[in-house]
Chain A
Amino acid sequence: EAGVAQSPRYKIIEKRQSVAFWCNPISGHATLYWYQQILGQGPKLLIQFQNNGVVDDSQLPKDRFSAERLKGVDSTLKIQPAKLEDSAVYLCASSRGEEQFFGPGTRLTVL
């Protein structure tokens, strides 16, 4: 079974620029999650989708972050404009039950 795929793996941008991350979940997993993991901390949930509907986005900074999951499969997370404090690893996960399966993450550096 193929795992959760994410791209790009690394991204370096300057502050105030825009960036987008892509996630392809495990086939058949209805729930998709985006997490932000700052160096030295645990992952923080940004948004949770059930199929193509949002279940929880209470920790998503909506003034600059947006996410969508068209057709209930792939998802994109966008930051516009980026700030220095957005430097982190962005993890995508998917699940069918309670166990979440994580992708390798995208490491974002904002200069």
Chain B
Amino acid sequence: SQQGEEDPQALSIQEGENATMNCSYKTSINNLQWYRQNSGRGLVHLILIRSNEREKHSGRLRVTLDTSKKSSSLLITASRAADTASYFCATDKTGANNLFFGTGTRLTVIP
């Protein structure tokens, strides 16, 4: 069974708006990673947050982690049409980098 569950399953926004995606997981983790997948570039690593971190930023991306609630969120600010893709959270339970991916959120950014 997969470790993570993303919410919502699908999200449609206008270009320039912010997009927030949530991920919940079931067991303790070493780190949590977010990946993007689209037909053009395949699956690409976006950002990693460790279990002892609460927030991390990378460009227009902001990730939060709440280990007490076993949840994470990914915020994309000032969205662009090129951000249209599926976004997956993936958890590393042991630090061995064997990832468990969630079900994904399909983001559509309308120009």
Identify the A interface with B (CB < 8 A).
31, 33, 35, 41-45, 48, 55-56, 91, 93, 95, 98-105
Contacts and interface: CB of A to CB of B under 8 A. Distances in A.
Contact of B97 (A42, A43, A44, A100): A100
B2 A41 contact: yes
Nearest to B9: A40
The 9 closest A-B pairs by CB, nearest first: A42-B101, A102-B43, A99-B45, A56-B98, A43-B101, A42-B88, A48-B98, A104-B42, A42-B104
B61 interface: no
Contacts of A91: 42-43
Interface of B: 2, 4, 31, 33, 42-45, 48, 88, 90, 92, 96-104
A56 B48 contact: no
A100 B45 contact: yes
Contact of A42 (B42, B48, B98, B103): B103
9 contacts: A31-B97, A33-B98, A44-B2, A45-B98, A48-B98, A56-B98, A98-B48, A102-B42, A102-B43
B42 to A, nearest CB: 5
A98 B97 contact: yes
A42 B102 CA distance: 6
Given A43-B43, A56-B96, A98 B102 contact: no
B34 to A, nearest CB: 11
A2 to B, nearest CB: 14
A105 B42 contact: yes
